[in-house]
Chains A and B, each alone.
Chain A
Amino acid sequence: MQTLSLEYTAGAPAAQRALAGVVGSGDLEVLLEPGVSGQTTVAIATSVDGVDEIWKAVIDRIFTEEGLAAYKVEINDFGATPAVVRLRIAQAMEQTTGDAAHD
C-alpha cells in the first residue's frame, strides 16, 4: 500500500460532501469533503506501486483548473486507469455542487 499527498490552491470550501466509485479491481473510491478555504488537499492510498508520477499528472490536471472550490479529497485506489480516476472525481465533484443533498 502506497500513499501520496498533494496540495492545490483553491477557492471557497465546497458546498457538501460526496462519495463516488466502488471498492473493486480497476476502480477507486473517492470521498470529497469541503476543504479549508483556499486550499485543496488530496490523499491517495493505492495498492499499485511505482505510479506516483502518473497520479500526480492526473490529479494536477484536475485540481489546477481555475475557479474550483476547496476540497478535502481522499482516494482509495484499486488499480484504476487515469480515465477512471478522472471520471470518478468528476462524478463526485458534480454531486458536491448538486442542489439535492443526500445527507
Chain B
Amino acid sequence: MAGLIQATGGNYSARRPGMVCPHDLVWFDEAALAADAPAWALAVVAAGEPGVVRRAARHGISLPVGIRGADKRQRHGDQVAAKRVSSHLAPEAIDLDVLARPPRSERGGDVPALAALADIRHRLKGLSIVWGPTGAVGYELATGRAVAHRESDLDLVVRLPECCNDVLAALCEMAAAARQTYAIRCDIQLETPAGGVALADWAGEAGQMMVKSDTGPYLTANPWAVAA
C-alpha cells in the first residue's frame, strides 16, 4: 500500500529497567497536567488516581498519558514530564491475588470480565509469558476504583519478543473460551518488536496485520521480523 511509511519506535516486547510502556499506570500530582486540562481530569488526578501511558510519540522527557473519567466520554490525553511521576505500575505487576479477596471477589457476578480473568489467570501462568490486565479491569485491580462493569471487555497485554506459535494458539483458545463462557470480548494485545498487534489480527486471514507503533499504525506481514 503506497503511502504507508514503516514507522519506527515502540518496541515494548521486553521490558528493560526504567522503561515505561503503553498501558502502564503512572501517578503524579495534578500540577503536572497541561494548563488547559479539563476540571474533571484535574479532580481525578487530585483524588490520587493514576494516568494510563498512551502509545504515542514521546517528546524528550515527557510521557503521553491518558486520564480516565467517570463517564466513558471523559478521556483526556496529556503529556506529563517523566520527573513528575512519583510511582509507576506495569500491567504485569498488578497483584491478581486481589481477585480472590473481598471486595473484588464479590464483583465477579456483576463484572464477567473479572470472573473470566480469575478463571484464566492460572492457565496463563502456565504459558511462561509476561502478561497483565489493562483497560477497565487492570485499572480497577490496580486502583480499587470500581470502573469495570457488566459490558467491560477483558483487555490483556502479552509481551512477546519472539513469535511463538504454540503460545499464540493457546492465547486464541483462551480468548475464545472467555468469549463463550462469559459472553465478553477478550482483547489480547501482543507487544512485538515492531509494536502492538491485536491477537485477533494475527489469527485473521489477511496477509498483513496492523502494528500500532509510537508514531502511528502501519501494516506488516511479520511484526517479529524487525531487529529487536
Contacts and interface: CB of A to CB of B under 8 A. Distances in A.
B39 interface: no
Interface residues of B, number: 22
A36 interface: no
B104 interface: no
B68 interface: no
B73 interface: yes
B108 interface: no
B204 interface: yes
A94 B210 CA distance: 14
A16 B133 CA distance: 39
A84 B210 contact: yes
A22 B200 contact: yes
A24 B185 contact: yes
Interface in B129-156: 135, 153, 155
A87 B220 CA distance: 12
Interface in B170-228: 185, 187, 198, 200-201, 204-206, 208, 210, 212, 216-219
A97 to B, nearest CB: 11
Nearest to A80: B217
B208 A26 contact: no
B200 A94 contact: no
A91 interface: yes
Contacts of B19: none
A26 B187 CA distance: 10
Please indicate which of the listed interface residues B187, B208, B216, B217 has the most CB atoms of chain A within 10 Å of its own CB: B217
Contacts of A67: none
Interface of A: 20-27, 48-50, 81, 83-84, 87-88, 90-91, 94-95, 102
27 contacts: A20-B206, A21-B201, A21-B210, A22-B200, A22-B201, A23-B185, A23-B200, A24-B185, A24-B200, A25-B135, A27-B210, A49-B73, A81-B217, A83-B216, A84-B212, A84-B217, A87-B4, A87-B210, A87-B217, A87-B219, A88-B210, A90-B3, A91-B206, A91-B208, A91-B210, A95-B206, A102-B205
Given A20-B206, A21-B210, A25-B187, 10 more contacts: A22-B201, A24-B201, A25-B135, A26-B212, A81-B217, A84-B212, A87-B4, A87-B210, A90-B1, A94-B1
